[in-house]
């Protein structure tokens, strides 16, 4: 298995990316400058050392051939030799003498076999070569032939050069680190200052994204100050302002269209109530006649009465939605939800005796503030939806729960479920679940839309979760304040 190395987190925001990129580029430039200056200085100092080595002329190494005890006439010549100058003599390819200058005097140097091989293999070409001696360290050595058929080796230490280079590297490290730190801080401030128009664009875009654009009247934010339109940020700001203008116009047109549609629905509902009521009245009157009525005429009158009643319910539902859309306040009183749930379940059990109805209620009474009639209608619509869109024998469980500030009502059935593609639109107007559930009676398609409108008008929420074999409608309402005095519903 290949070893897994931890991933280095990369900067995400544009500001951090620009700042990081600037610091990285400066770091690379500093690295290149430092590397080149170190190489240049090291080469210069080595060349100076080679010149010094050539100027010494090998006098110290040649003076080592005197084998008698040192005196004023034949002692090794250390005059003008710098501290650490190395000298050695080789005869017939073997090292016979080696010494180094210490405080203007010579001192013998212990050489191990590796040092001897290094000296013996040194090219006799008069050129300087870098070699490391175990007892002395790194040296620049040069080998020439002497007058007595021997080989004379002279060397100077590279330690001063190394110390100077290391000192330069330390200074450069400190200076470059300080430069990177200062550049990073100032660069971050400059990038932040330069991207202020882009931050304004981002704030405006976030503000638009957080607004409820799906429905209702939407107030668009003020245009963004674009600054210089020749810059990239200015061009983005100009494009965003143009986009906001188009979105604002589209939302205004949509709102105007929705208002016209609501007015039309309200006006049509008002206009339809009287003729529908007249049709129902005449159908009922015709059915009550004692004169013989042909069977086909009676069936037609029955259908007219049934459809006129359905039309009346549709008109009433449309009028209710139109009133809620217009923002008309619902009546407010303390409502006993426990009693409403009991009554609505009894009505649903009477209308659907072939279903299994289960109740799960808390011990005490659960109350809220709202319109009792409309809340009863919303609960009844949820139960009617479970009854009409599930087959006989389906178990429907109604559960009421209360917390400190919220009340929850769930209606759960084990029917075939709602088609996944219909779930986002299930609370829409005239939404039909024909492909997801079996329908036994006609439906206006406004029942769940009324549930959503009524619950929302009471400051609550309604949601649905569904899969084959389980569908749950959850209605949440605010609980009644404990100090609210009960009033008639």
pLDDT of residue 432: 63
Residue 200: band (very low, low, confident or very high) from pLDDT cuts 50, 70, 90 = confident
137 & 28 share domain: yes
Tally Cβ neighbours within 10 Å of residue 432: 16
Strand residue runs (E) in 120-225: 129-133, 137-145, 151-157
Last residue of a domain, one of 328, 347, 380: 328
- Domain-embedded: residue 207: no
Parent domain of 308: 213-328
pLDDT, tens digit, 9 for 90 and up, residues 109-144: 888 888 888 888 899 888 889 999 888 889 999 988
88 closest CA partner among 45, 32, 143? 143
Instruction: Give the residue among 451, 446, 456, 453 at the shortest CA–CA distance from 477.
Output: 456
Residues 293 and 361 in one domain: no
Task: Tell me if 445 is assigned to some domain.
Answer: yes
Select from 149, 164, 179 the last residue of a domain. 164
Residue 123: partners with Cβ closer than 8 Å, 6 or more residues away? 129, 143
Name every residue whose Cβ is closer than 8 Å to that of residue 286 and which is 6 or more positions away in sequence.
293, 301
Q: Where residue 316 sits, what CATH number does that domain have? A: 1.10.287
Q: What is the chain's mean pLDDT, rounded?
A: 80
Query: Residue 440's pLDDT is what?
Result: 45
Instruction: Write down the pLDDT at residue 330.
Output: 78
Q: pLDDT, tens digit, for every residue of 165-198?
A: 999 999 999 999 999 999 889 988 888 887 777 7
Question: Final residue of a domain: which of 328, 356, 384?
Answer: 328
**pLDDT, tens only, 35-52:** 999 999 999 999 998 888
Phi (first) and psi of residue 217, to 5 degrees: -80, 130
Using 50, 70 and 90 to split pLDDT, how confident is the model at 400?
very high
Q: Cα(218)–Cα(211) distance, rounded to whole angstroms? A: 7
Q: Are residues 100 and 236 in the same domain?
A: no
Res 438: pLDDT: 39
Query: Which pLDDT belongs to residue 365?
Result: 86
Percent of the chain whose pLDDT exceeds 70: 81
| Residue indicated by tokens 């011990």 | 363
Residue with tokens 């939404």: 431
- Going by their DSSP bridges, the two strands 129-133 and 137-145 should be labelled as antiparallel
Q: What is the pLDDT confidence band of residue 443, given thresholds at 50, 70 and 90?
A: low
What is the per-residue pLDDT for 89? 87
Judge contact between 342 and 365, C-beta under 8 A.
no
Q: Which pLDDT does position 359 carry in this prediction?
A: 92
* 402 has a pLDDT exceeding 80: yes
Do 360 and 427 fall within a single domain? yes
Q: How far apart (Å, rounded) are the C-alpha atoms in residues 313 and 318?
A: 9
Per-residue DSSP letters for 31-52?
A: HHHHHHHHHHHHHHHHHHHHHH
Give the other-Cβ count within 10 Å of 220's Cβ: 17
Residue 402 structure tokens: 């209360």
Q: 262: Cβ–Cβ under 8 A, 6 or more apart, which residues?
A: 322, 325, 326
Residue 254, sorted as left (phi over 0), alpha (psi -120 to 50) or beta, turns out to be alpha
* Residue whose structure tokens are 């979105």: 247
Confidence of residue 104 (pLDDT cuts 50, 70, 90): low
Residue 187 resides in a domain:
no
pLDDT tens figures, 238-268: 787 788 777 777 777 777 766 776 666 666 6
Nearest of 463, 360, 361, 473 to residue 415 by alpha carbon: 473
Domain membership flag for residue 184: no
Residues 6+ apart with CB under 8 A from 367: 334, 335, 336, 337, 479, 480, 486
Q: Does residue 170 belong to any structural domain of this protein?
A: no
Strand, coil or helix: what is 246?
Answer: helix
Question: Both 225 and 249 in a single domain?
Answer: yes
Q: What is the DSSP string of 317-381?
A: HHHHHHHHHTTPPPP-EEEEHHHHHHHHHHHHHHH-TTSEEEEE--SS--EEEE-HHHHHHHHHH
Rounded to whole angstroms, the Cα distance separating 108 from 95 reads 13
Tell me, yes or no, whether 297 and 345 share the same domain: no
CATH number of the domain to which 409 belongs: 3.30.565.10
Report the sign of the C-alpha dihedral through residues 106, 109, 115, 120, in that order. positive
Q: How confident is the model at residue 303, as a pLDDT? A: 82
Considering the domain architecture, whether residues 298 and 347 belong to the same structural domain is answered as: no
Look at residue 205 and tell me if it is in a domain: no
**Residue 2 pLDDT grade (very low, low, confident, very high; cuts 50, 70, 90):** low
Q: Would the pLDDT of 379 be above 70?
A: yes
Residue 377 · residue 450 · CB < 8 Å: yes
The residues, any chain, with a CB within 8 Å of residue 200's CB and separated by 6 or more, are 224, 225, 237
pLDDT in tens, 282-296: 777 777 777 777 888
Domain count, the chain: 3
Is the predicted pLDDT of residue 8 greater than 60, yes or no?
no
Residue 5 lies in a domain: no
- Shared-domain flag, residues 291 and 342: no
Query: What's CA 86's distance to the chain center, in Å?
Result: 67
Residue 225 has what pLDDT? 73
Kindly state the tokens that stand for 486. Answer: 């009960």
For residue 75, give both structure tokens: 């002692």
Q: What is the pLDDT at residue 44?
A: 92
Provide DSSP, 74-142: TS---TTPPTT-EEEEEETTEEEEEEEEETTEEEE----HHHHHHHHTS--SS--EEEEETTTEEEEEE
Q: Do residues 345 and 479 lie in contact, with contact meaning Cβ atoms separated by under 8 Å?
A: no
- Asked if 58 and 66 touch (Cβ cutoff 8 Å), the reply is no
pLDDT for the residue numbered 3: 58
Q: Are residues 383 and 400 in the same domain?
A: yes
Do 146 and 37 lie in one domain? The reply is yes
Rg (alpha carbons) of the chain, rounded to whole number: 49
H or E element, residue 206: helix 196-210
Q: Are residues 48 and 74 in the same domain?
A: yes
Task: Based on the fold, state whether residues 466 and 364 are members of the same structural domain.
Answer: yes
Residues in the chain: 489
Q: Give the model's pLDDT for residue 411.
A: 94
pLDDT of residue 207: 74
Residues 6+ apart with CB under 8 A from 379: 340, 341, 344, 409, 475
pLDDT for position 98: 87
pLDDT of residue 340: 92
Q: Is 348 exposed, middle or buried (0-12, 13-18, 19+ CB in 10 A)?
A: buried
- Contact between 153 and 141 under an 8 Å Cβ cutoff? The reply is yes
Domain-embedded: residue 136: yes
Report the range of poorest mean pLDDT among 31-35, 147-151, 374-378, 463-467: 147-151
pLDDT the model gives residue 394: 92
Asked whether the beta carbons of 103 and 83 are under 8 A apart, the reply is: yes
CA distance 424 to 452: 13
Percent with pLDDT over 90 in the chain: 23
């Amino acid at each position: 298995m290949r070893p897994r190395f931890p991933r280095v987190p990369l900067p995400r925001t544009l500001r951090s990316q620009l700042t990081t990129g600037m610091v990285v580029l400066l770091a690379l430039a500093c690295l290149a400058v430092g590397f080149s200056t170190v190489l240049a200085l090291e080469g210069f100092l080595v060349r100076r050392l080679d010149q010094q080595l050539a100027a010494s002329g090998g006098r110290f190494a040649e003076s080592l051939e005197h084998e008698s005890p040192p005196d004023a006439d034949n002692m090794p010549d250390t005059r003008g030799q710098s501290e650490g100058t190395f000298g050695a003599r080789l005869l017939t390819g073997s090292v016979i003498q080696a010494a180094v200058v210490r405080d203007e005097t010579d001192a013998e140097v212990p050489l191990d076999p590796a040092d001897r091989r290094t000296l013996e293999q040194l090219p006799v070409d008069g050129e300087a070569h870098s070699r490391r001696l175990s007892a002395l360290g790194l040296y620049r050595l040069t080998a020439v032939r002497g007058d007595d058929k021997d080989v004379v080796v002279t060397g100077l230490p590279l330690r001063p050069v190394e110390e100077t280079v290391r000192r330069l590297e330390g200074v450069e490290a400190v200076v470059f680190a300080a430069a990177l730190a200062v550049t990073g801080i100032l660069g971050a401030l400059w990038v932040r200052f330069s991207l202020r128009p882009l931050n304004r664009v981002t704030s405006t875009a976030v503000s638009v994204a957080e607004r409820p654009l799906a429905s209702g009247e939407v107030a668009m934010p003020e245009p963004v100050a674009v600054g210089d339109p020749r810059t990239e940020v200015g061009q983005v700001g100009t494009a965003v302002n143009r986009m906001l203008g188009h979105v604002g116009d589209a939302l205004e047109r949509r709102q105007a269209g929705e208002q016209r549609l609501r007015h039309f629905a309200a006006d049509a509902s008002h206009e339809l109530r009287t003729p529908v009521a007249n049709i129902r009245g005449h159908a009922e009157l015709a059915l009550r006649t004692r004169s013989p009525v042909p069977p086909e005429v009676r069936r037609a009158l029955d259908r007219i009465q049934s459809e006129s009643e359905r039309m009346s319910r549709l008109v009433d539902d449309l009028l209710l939605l139109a009133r809620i859309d217009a923002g008309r306040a619902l009546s407010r009183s303390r409502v006993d939800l426990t009693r409403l749930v009991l009554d609505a379940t009894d009505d649903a059990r009477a209308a659907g005796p072939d279903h299994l109805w289960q109740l799960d209620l808390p011990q005490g009474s659960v109350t809220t503030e709202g319109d009792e009639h409309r809340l009863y209608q919303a609960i009844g619509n949820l139960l009617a939806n479970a009854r009409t869109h599930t087959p006989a024998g389906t178990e429907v469980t109604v559960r009421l729960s209360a917390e400190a500030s919220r009340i929850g009502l769930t209606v759960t059935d084990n029917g075939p479920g709602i088609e996944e593609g219909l779930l986002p639109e299930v609370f829409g107007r005239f939404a039909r679940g024909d492909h997801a559930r079996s329908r036994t009676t006609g439906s206006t398609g406004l029942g769940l839309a009324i549930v959503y409108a009524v619950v929302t008008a009471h400051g609550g929420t309604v949601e649905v979760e569904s899969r084959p074999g389980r569908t749950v409608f959850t209605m949440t309402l605010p609980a009644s304040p404990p100090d609210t005095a009960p009033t008639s519903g």
